[in-house]
Amino acid sequence: MYLLGYDIGSSSIKAALVEAETGATLAVAQSPDTEMGMAAHQPGWAEQDPDEWWAHVCIATRQLLNDCLVAPAEIKGIGISYQMHGLVVVGDDMKPLRPSIIWCDSRAVPFGNRAFDEIGHEKCLSHLLNSPGNFTAAKLAWVKENEPNIFAKIRHFMLPGDYIALRLTGEAMTTPCGLSEGILWDFKKNDVADTVLDYFGFDKKLVPYVTPTFSLQGKLTPEAAAATGLAEGTPVGYRAGDQPNNALSLNVLQPGEVAATGGTSGVVYGVVDRPAYDLQSRVNGFVHPTGLPPAPSLAGGWGKANSSPLGVGREGPVRVGILLCINGAGSLYRWLRQTVGQGSISYPDMERLAASVPIGADGLRILPFGNGAERMLVNLDPGAQVNNLQLNRHTAAHLYRAGLEGIAFSFVYGVQILKEMGLDISVMRVGNDNLFQSAVFSKTIATLLGCSIDVVQTTGAVGAAKAAGVATGIYPSIEVAMASVTVTGRHEPEAGRVGEYRAAYAAWEVDLAKAIG
């Protein structure tokens, strides 16, 4: 008996097959081998064809089945993780009316900012936990104003994962998680955000049927089975955005637990047990997949009975995911490798050189914010800075250490915002395929935050597969489903050197204060 998970990214599609009984990953397939393209018809735009995602879902699935020689009928559930904040619009025939406006497209910023001001900051933050910003609702507003002929044909808008589920099942659905990612979920009313719909002039009928995150969300159609090689009738039981799903995959389920990634950008995602927001809107709050909100009345538009073992309308704990994003993270370290190392040095060699330099890099300090405006800095863009460079003292090794420390310090700075919101960090879990492979980077964060960092062997597609096992009743709870995650390493605080780390961080904070005024 097996479970299948998808991770619908903007670069590639990953599919993972998991053995349900042991939780072991049999194989992971990816399509395409190189990154998918993005159309940028104007500066700041980024679009992709949703049917290209579907084509690569089919390719990756067939590759997985071929590699594992598993009978399709033995796959008992499908889960989906997907790129957040994108917009797909479909007509009456359930086909896309235009390319998807994806997460990194910034054209809708003015629409979200205007909505924030006109709806009211306090109301947006207390009900939505966010500014409408550059999220799905604002992107739909852009379509309404700039492409009225297309807007008039829309039957439903949806998130990228909703579209893939539609192609699999023929059912147009979304979830509270997905709506919150689009800034279309009212945490006070525990329902679709009528305030946002009314402000933008969106008919509520445009919202797909809303189903719990863990639920029976449809079964594979004959057409989808033929395209993917899977068995007709296989249930889809879970969908969530990539960052909440990444936290779930890392077994971050309870308040006080934190997931982090250090890729091109950096993300810290913590779980709290109440709706929480930052008055300066420096972070985002979303429905965490393990939060099971009580369903409103049927008149509210969702909550009809289905066969999910979790039970529609079940009272569950409030779980909100607070997401902090740092644009300037791995992008800085890649720049150092390409520019200082001329692209010929490996990351392990950079790590060895960085480790040869004392904590604080002999006074050399780097601000890593060179990848656009930083939300956690109230959307300021101070750029990257190298401070206190001494030409007769500092070497490439110092630059590598200062780069790693600067990125780590930005994580610590951001976590202070989360702490102000009441997040008490007890454990941080990370994947094994990003900056957290660096002991210099990881120990800097662990020591300054006073917490251990567990390195976990998993992927988003694997987590989505296991989550589907909960929805289909194979696992009695998400805790049981994720109990098999493997911790491959741990970074502990350097208790005897806290003072050195704090001194280096304090000097870096002074630089940052000067840079942002």
363 and 239 in a common domain: no
Considering the domain architecture, whether residues 75 and 182 belong to the same structural domain is answered as yes
Residues 337 and 235 in one domain: no
Boundary of a domain, candidates 249, 276, 307? 249
If 0-12 CB within 10 Å is exposed, 13-18 middle and 19+ buried, where does residue 499 land? exposed
Q: What value does the mean pLDDT take over residues 184-192?
A: 94
Which of 217, 232, 249 is the last residue in one of the domains?
249
* pLDDT single digits (tens) 12-21: 999 999 999 9
pLDDT tens-digit map of 363-375? 999 999 998 889 8
Contact 242/177 with Cβ under 8 angstroms? no
Tens digits of per-residue pLDDT, 52-102? 999 999 999 999 999 999 999 999 999 999 999 999 999 999 999 999 999
DSSP 52-89: HHHHHHHHHHHHHHHHHT--GGGEEEEEEEE-TT-BEE
Give CA separation, 418 vs 116, 282, 286, 421, in Å. Answer: 22, 10, 14, 5
Quote the domain boundaries for residue 192: 2-249
Distance, CA of 378 to CA of 382 (rounded, Å): 11
| Confidence (pLDDT) at 291 | 67
In a domain, 139, yes or no: yes
Amino acid present at 390: Q
What is the reported pLDDT for 313? Answer: 33
Question: Residue 269 and residue 267: Cα distance in Å, rounded?
Answer: 6
Residue among 155, 160, 246 nearest 203 (CA): 155
85 and 191 co-located in one domain: yes
Secondary structure (3-state) at 13: strand
HSE at residue 348, side-chain half, CA atoms within 13 A, is 1
- My answer on whether 229 and 360 are in the same domain is no
Residue 250 to residue 433: CA distance in whole angstroms: 13
- More confident call, 441 vs 290: 441
Domain assignment present for 110: yes
- Beta strands at 2-8 and 13-19: parallel, antiparallel or unpaired: antiparallel
CATH of the domain at 233: 3.30.420.40
- Beta 365-369 vs 320-326: how paired, if at all? unpaired
Same domain, 236 and 358: no
pLDDT band for 294, please (50, 70, 90 cuts): very low
Q: What is the mean pLDDT of residues 121-129?
A: 96
Residues in the chain, total: 517
Q: What are the CA-CA distances from residue 487 to residues 205, 246, 484 (Å)?
A: 45, 15, 9
Number of domains within the chain: 2
Q: Are residues 375 and 241 in the same domain?
A: no
Determine the 3-state secondary structure of 368 from DSSP: strand
- Asked, for residue 300, whether it belongs to a domain, the answer is no
Same domain for 62 and 181, yes or no, is: yes
How are beta strands 427-431 and 453-457 bridged, if at all?
parallel
Digit-coded pLDDT (tens) for 328-354: 888 999 999 999 999 999 999 999 999
Confidence of residue 302 (pLDDT cuts 50, 70, 90): very low
203 and 111 both lie in a single domain: yes
What pLDDT is stored for residue 300 in this prediction?
35
AA letter at 305: A
Asked if residue 479 belongs to a domain, the reply is no
Q: How do beta strands 13-19 and 25-31 pair?
A: antiparallel
Instruction: Indicate if 151 and 245 belong to the same structural domain.
Output: yes
Which residue, of 249, 264, 293, is where some domain finishes?
249
One domain, residues 86 and 173: yes
Q: Residue 233 domain-assigned?
A: yes
CA 79 to chain centre: 15
494 is a domain residue: yes
Are both 242 and 342 inside the same structural domain? Answer: no
Q: What pLDDT, in 10s, does the model give residues 96-120?
A: 999 999 998 889 999 999 999 999 9
φ, ψ of residue 316 to 5 degrees: the values are: -135, 170
**Domain annotation covers residue 270:** no
Classify residue 320: in a domain, yes or no.
no
* Alpha carbon separation from 348 to 357, 394, 400 (Å, rounded): 15, 20, 11
Would you call the peptide bond into 32 cis, given omega within 30 degrees of 0 as the criterion? yes
What SS3 state is found at 499? helix
Q: What is the pLDDT of residues 150-171, one digit of tens each?
A: 999 999 999 999 999 999 999 9
Q: Say what percent of the chain tops pLDDT 90.
A: 82
Q: Which of 84, 453, 439, 441 is nearest to 257 (CA)?
A: 453
